[in-house]
Chain A
Amino acid sequence: MAEFIKNRVNRGIVFAIVIIFLELIGFTVTVTIMIGKFADVRRATDPIFLMIFFAILGLWNGTCGKDLPQKTIRNFILGGFISGLVTGILVGITAFILGYLNIQGVDLRQYLVQLSSFTIELFLYNLTPPAGAFAHILIFTISGLLGGLLSYVSEKGHYFKFLKEKTTDFFQTVTNHPLIQQIWGKRYTRYILYTLGIAALILLPQQIGSYWNFILGTVGIYILLGLGLNLIVGLSGQLVLGYVAFFAIGAYTFALLSAPKPYDINMNFWLALGFGILAATLTGVLLGLPILNLRGDYLAIVTLAFGEIIRNLIRSDLLTPYTLGPRGVREIAEPTLFGRSFSSEVDYMYIIILTVFLLIFITDRIQNSRVGRAWLAIKDDQTVAQANGVNTFKYKLLALALGAAFAGLAGGVFAARNQFTGPEDHTLMVSINVLCLVIVGGMGSIPGIILGAFVLKGIPEMLRDFEIYRMLFFGVLLIIMMIVRPEGLWPAKRPVLEKRKSAPGGDMDEKAGKTIEGVQDAG
């Protein structure tokens, strides 16, 4: 029993620390405005929204499960109550102290930038310090109690397990539903679905307006980068941290060749794009030759440094006459085809969509071939791969070169869409973002990368208020992912090769062996 109370108190303390931390970094204001915008824009900073946020956290705080000695309703309520009370008291005391100091006229922003008196007043729900502190205790205790009760209701403590089972059941019922099976199993119905999907992709950019085109375009460019880095990290298993270097070289080669300043070459869009890809690929090969014999951490450090060197070179005084330094390159060429200019935001969206499809096609075909298998073998066990006759150096170099080419293409498209490229577009954060989306999505998995790009790039773009907390969000998300789903949101699946029938067999075989269907048709 004492053990149980200790656990609940601990949990309460942890939650209190998290909430106090959120207050100290000013997150409480942001989250209030975020919820407020969804609910009622005119009263976006109403303390009621903060109360809602804290109540949700409080519910979570109150959930009990494994830690209970006996799963009786009394224990559940008691557990939730104890955690809630502890959190409430600690948060209340903090709020009281902050509020008291604020009234005394102490400017806490000297120590913590976000602690303006507005932040503190909001934290006290615009009440006096004692009343605010009391409100905290009340909210956390009640929500903790309710959380405990909720745990009891949802299958006596199997709160999350219950939810998880429900969702898995749901997905299984959907995917195994005879109707779905029939539609997906038949070839012609599948083609109709594909056609509908393509039609949607053609029509959507015209309908959604420039804001959404911009966001989805950014997501698309990150999908391109993700696909490229996936070849290097996800398939061949080489940890490259300076991936942005290839992106920068692609963008700058493209921009310098096609812009009027500084060289006045004014090259055609497509030709310049080709040169951008070529330059990035060459850089990949030249970088790879000396360093690809390094393994793991060493490779990561060297490539990390390389990425920073490229960015600093671009913005250095030394190269300013050639790269225009920190000001960046402007008035980049617009794409033309048959004399018509393709430069509206909708056209750029189409270009991005087409490029994404092209790269998905290439990746998919390579990964299901001898080359892709050699990469996976290197990733799993380089020594043994080599002992099986795989030229590991050659294949690692190939992965780096192709990945760099993908990045070069993405860089060109990115520069063209923005009509500008500068050194600040190519910071270390780009490399880290791309690496994160590959890991979060699922290494080596194409749908995973698309999903990852939407989650890590799309959602933060939409929630602009969230921008400054993106690193926090990343950190938390990565930690949760590594614990809960280390294989990624949509893990890679290996193709079915042994059981695939050559003759038109069952629907399942056809579906599973989709990627090598061409082989069978020919044979």
Chain B
Amino acid sequence: MPVSIETQKVTKYFGGLTAVNEVDLIVPENSISSIIGPNGAGKTTLFNCISGFYTPNKGKIFFQGHEIQNSSTEIVAKLGIARTYQNIRLFANMTAIENILVGHHPRLTVGWMDAVIHTKRFRKEEKDSIEEGRRLLKFVGLEGLGDNLARNLPYGAQRRLEIARALANHPALLLLDEPTAGMNPQETDQMTRFIRNLKDELGITILLIEHDMRVVMGISDQITVLDYGMKIAEGNAKAIQSNSKVIEAYLGPGGLALSEKFRHKKTKTL
């Protein structure tokens, strides 16, 4: 199976703190992979290393065979990695559709002179771009809201708009940082289905960070668990659920016994 992204012993320090410690990760093409772990485990830092926000202190990152650990976010975006943010970061004072058009940016070519003279190339590009923007709005279920300022959209719509902006660049890999944070169960279900659609319909590889275990266990082909910056487990949902290190990371030492007891009780009552 071809590899989308691969990290080799990626390490990132902040002063004396090792946020990510020699993490190896392989994400196959056209799969959904999740990174989980307790708060402060280094999940978002790893994301930031992959998307070019941070340069790792050690280790290498390959995307479709290109070495990208020293590339800027701009280059990474142009190679086809798009991302969303844990705390939504839209261009708040632009309209929803304009946010998507900014997402198109690397795939467009016209410069300011074309814009001033309205060359044929400019008119065509602009028209196509707006058309595609409308399609994307429809795809994420925001049809009719495109001309509202991004900051005036409801929370759930902002999350989806952020994904639409990421999709506008036709990414091969999409990094989602807690896509269902702050959503109610219904919205979470919608989002889960939506993410699965992204993979199935558009063939996009997805790597996500998520705290909601129902989501993670439901859609992941592969789950990686980080704790204190280190990878402590990797595998499919079933393997992770019964992994003693994972349970210990989440529930603390002795957590394993606790969880056994809990399971025992549950089976008894059933």
* Smallest Cβ-Cβ distance to A367: which chain B residue: B115
Chain A residues near B144 (CB-CB < 8 A) = 498-499
Q: How far is the CB of A244 from chain B (nearest CB, A)?
A: 24
Q: Contacts A377-B91, A496-B147, A522-B123 known; A383 to B53 CB distance under 8 Å?
A: yes
Q: Does A2 contact B (CB under 8 A)?
A: no
Q: Mark A258-295, 1 if CB is under 8 A from B, else 0.
A: 00000000000000000000000000000000000000
Q: Are A387 and B52 in contact (CB under 8 A)?
A: yes
Q: How far is the CB of B63 from chain A (nearest CB, A)?
A: 14
Q: Are B146 and A499 in contact (CB under 8 A)?
A: yes
Q: Contacts A386-B74, A388-B105, A519-B127 known; A499 to B115 CB distance under 8 Å?
A: no
Residue of B94, B95, B126, B149 touching A377 (CB-CB under 8 A): B94
Q: Does B202 contact A (CB under 8 A)?
A: no
Q: Are A380 and B74 in contact (CB under 8 A)?
A: no
Partner-contacting stretch, out of A36-44, A170-178, A189-197, A368-376: A368-376
Partner-contacting stretch, out of A114-122, A308-316, A390-398, A419-427: A390-398
Tell me the bound Cα distance from A389 to B144 in angstroms: 27
Q: How far is the CB of A522 from chain B (nearest CB, A)?
A: 5
Q: How far is the CB of B96 from chain A (nearest CB, A)?
A: 8
Taking CB atoms and an 8 Å cut-off, the chain B residues in 18-45 that contact chain A are none
Taking CB atoms and an 8 Å cut-off, the chain B residues in 89-109 that contact chain A are 89, 91-98, 101-106, 108
Q: How far is the CB of B116 from chain A (nearest CB, A)?
A: 5
- A interface, size bucket: 35 or more
Q: Does B204 contact A (CB under 8 A)?
A: no
Tell me the bound Cα distance from A369 to B125 in angstroms: 10
Chain B residues near A374 (CB-CB < 8 A) = 102, 105
Chain A residues near B118 (CB-CB < 8 A) = 365, 518-519
Chain B residues near A494 (CB-CB < 8 A) = 94-95, 98, 147, 149
Q: Does B137 contact A (CB under 8 A)?
A: yes
Q: Are B105 and A497 in contact (CB under 8 A)?
A: no
Q: Does B15 contact A (CB under 8 A)?
A: no
Q: Are B123 and A365 in contact (CB under 8 A)?
A: no
Taking CB atoms and an 8 Å cut-off, the chain A residues in 99-154 that contact chain B are none
Chain B residues near A434 (CB-CB < 8 A) = none
Chain B residues near A377 (CB-CB < 8 A) = 91, 94, 102, 105
Chain A residues near B165 (CB-CB < 8 A) = 388
Q: Are B122 and A376 in contact (CB under 8 A)?
A: no
* Smallest Cβ-Cβ distance to A521: which chain B residue: B123
* Smallest Cβ-Cβ distance to A399: which chain B residue: B112
Q: Does A523 contact B (CB under 8 A)?
A: yes
Q: Contacts A370-B115, A376-B94 known; A387 to B53 CB distance under 8 Å?
A: yes
Q: Are B72 and A386 in contact (CB under 8 A)?
A: yes
Q: Are A376 and B112 in contact (CB under 8 A)?
A: no
Q: Are B147 and A497 in contact (CB under 8 A)?
A: yes
Q: Mark B222-238, 1 if CB is under 8 A from A, else 0.
A: 00000000000000000
Tell me the bound Cα distance from A383 to B90 in angstroms: 11
Q: Contacts A387-B77, A389-B78, A389-B169 known; A373 to B149 CB distance under 8 Å?
A: no
Q: Does B62 contact A (CB under 8 A)?
A: no
- Chain B contact residues: over half helix, strand or loop, or mixed? helix
Tell me the bound Cα distance from A383 to B51 in angstroms: 12
* Smallest Cβ-Cβ distance to A379: which chain B residue: B93
Q: How far is the CB of A231 from chain B (nearest CB, A)?
A: 10
Tell me the bound Cα distance from A519 to B92 in angstroms: 26
Chain B residues near A516 (CB-CB < 8 A) = 126
Taking CB atoms and an 8 Å cut-off, the chain A residues in 214-263 that contact chain B are none
Q: Does A384 contact B (CB under 8 A)?
A: yes
Q: Contacts A383-B53, A499-B146 known; A371 to B102 CB distance under 8 Å?
A: no
* Smallest Cβ-Cβ distance to A497: which chain B residue: B97
Q: Mark A485-523, 1 if CB is under 8 A from B, else 0.
A: 000000000101111100000000000000010111011
Q: Does B60 contact A (CB under 8 A)?
A: no
Taking CB atoms and an 8 Å cut-off, the chain B residues in 61-97 that contact chain A are 72-74, 76-78, 82-83, 85, 89, 91-97
Q: Are B146 and A497 in contact (CB under 8 A)?
A: yes
Residue of A365, A371, A372, A499 touching B147 (CB-CB under 8 A): A499
Tell me the bound Cα distance from A392 to B105 in angstroms: 12
Q: Does A183 contact B (CB under 8 A)?
A: no
Tell me the bound Cα distance from A502 to B85 in angstroms: 35
Q: How far is the CB of B111 from chain A (nearest CB, A)?
A: 7
Q: Does B268 contact A (CB under 8 A)?
A: no
Q: Are A389 and B91 in contact (CB under 8 A)?
A: no
Chain A residues near B97 (CB-CB < 8 A) = 497-498
Q: Does B266 contact A (CB under 8 A)?
A: no
Q: Are B146 and A498 in contact (CB under 8 A)?
A: yes
Chain B residues near A518 (CB-CB < 8 A) = 118, 123
Tell me the bound Cα distance from A361 to B117 in angstroms: 10
* Smallest Cβ-Cβ distance to B77: which chain A residue: A389
Q: Does A324 contact B (CB under 8 A)?
A: no
Q: Are A390 and B74 in contact (CB under 8 A)?
A: yes
Q: Are A519 and B74 in contact (CB under 8 A)?
A: no
Q: Contacts A389-B77, A494-B98 known; A369 to B123 CB distance under 8 Å?
A: no
Q: Does A381 contact B (CB under 8 A)?
A: yes
List 15 other contacts, CB 8 Å, given A373-B98, A498-B134: A369-B114, A369-B122, A370-B104, A370-B105, A370-B110, A376-B98, A377-B91, A380-B93, A380-B94, A381-B89, A385-B102, A387-B77, A388-B169, A497-B146, A498-B146
Name 7 interchain pairs, CB-CB below 8 A, sorted by A. A380-B93, A387-B77, A388-B77, A389-B77, A402-B112, A496-B147, A498-B130
Q: Ordered nearest first, which 10 A-B pairs have the shortest CB separation?
A: A498-B146, A389-B106, A369-B115, A389-B77, A387-B73, A380-B91, A377-B102, A371-B112, A498-B97, A522-B123
